[in-house]
Amino acid sequence: MIYAQLMKEVLNNKELMLNLELASELNLPQWCIVGGAIRDHFWGLHTPQSKYTPKDIDLIFFDPKDCSKTLEQNIEDNLKEISGKMWSVKNQARMHEHNSDTPYLGTLDAISKFPLQVVTTALSIASDGEPLLVTIYGYQDLIVPAINPTIHYQTKERRRSLVEYIERKKFSKLWPQAKLAEFI
């Protein structure tokens, strides 16, 4: 029931659907849109606040055959030229180095190590051509705005990085109604 309602909201959002179409045309392995574009869409629907427009669209993929930043930049430039929007494109096959992690096994493994549960929801196109909304921790934080760390960030060693991330994203200013986890 929850999934069907969320998918209805995705299908009714022309901008999300256009972004999905653009991303799917790239034929990147294990690709999906993640982060603020999804979070902000759903939080905007479920809060009295007007919608906040994310500064970019986060597109991730997993291709161990080409881990060059040049590939990512070329894709970003192409998407910006076509859509007129800023995109952030990251190959998760190399991002473990940036995040001081062990190598990721694929896109879903990488997503599971994102800082917040709400950004572990990913939007892609299934093999049948239909949109697919996948989550690691469930959809609850999309419906009732909440800032909960993933298991990966519930450690003493990563706490400072988590707090810095939350402050950098200005959640308390942009989404004051989002419940902050006690851990943080």
User: Which H helix or E strand runs over 57?
Assistant: strand 57-61
Which contacts qualify for 106-112: CB closer than 8 Å, 24 or more apart? Answer: 106/30, 106/62, 107/30, 107/31, 107/32, 107/60, 107/61, 107/62, 108/30, 108/134, 108/136, 110/60, 110/62, 111/32, 111/34, 111/60, 111/136, 112/136, 112/150, 112/151, 112/152
The letter for the amino acid at 72 is E
Q: 28 lies in a domain?
A: yes
**Taking the model in full, what pTM does it have?**
0.94
Per the structure, the count of domains in the chain is 1
Q: 177 lies in a domain?
A: no
Residue 45: which pLDDT band, with cuts at 50, 70 and 90?
confident
89 φ/ψ angles, rounded to the nearest 5 degrees: -115, 125
Beta carbons within 8 Å of 165's beta carbon, 6+ residues apart: 115, 116
- Sheet strand arrangement including 87-91: 87-91, 57-61, 32-34, 121-125, 131-135
| pLDDT value at 51 more than 80 | no
Q: 59 lies in a domain?
A: yes
Residue 143 Cα distances to 5, 41, 135, 159, 181, angstroms: 11, 10, 13, 25, 16
User: Which H helix or E strand runs over 132?
Assistant: strand 131-135
> Do residues 139 and 121 make contact, with C-beta atoms less than 8 angstroms apart?
yes
Residues in the chain, total:
184
Q: 137 lies in a domain?
A: yes
Residue 50: which pLDDT band, with cuts at 50, 70 and 90?
low
Q: 112 lies in a domain?
A: yes
Q: 161 lies in a domain?
A: no
Percent of the chain with pLDDT over 70: 96
Q: 44 lies in a domain?
A: yes
111-157 pLDDT, tens digit each: 999 999 999 999 999 999 999 999 999 999 999 999 999 999 999 89
**What CATH number did the domain enclosing 19 receive?**
3.30.460.10
Q: 153 lies in a domain?
A: no
Its sign, for the CA torsion 147, 139, 43, 111, is: positive
Range of the domain at 58: 2-143
User: Comparing C-alpha atoms, which of 89, 13, 87, 31 is closest to residue 55?
Assistant: 87
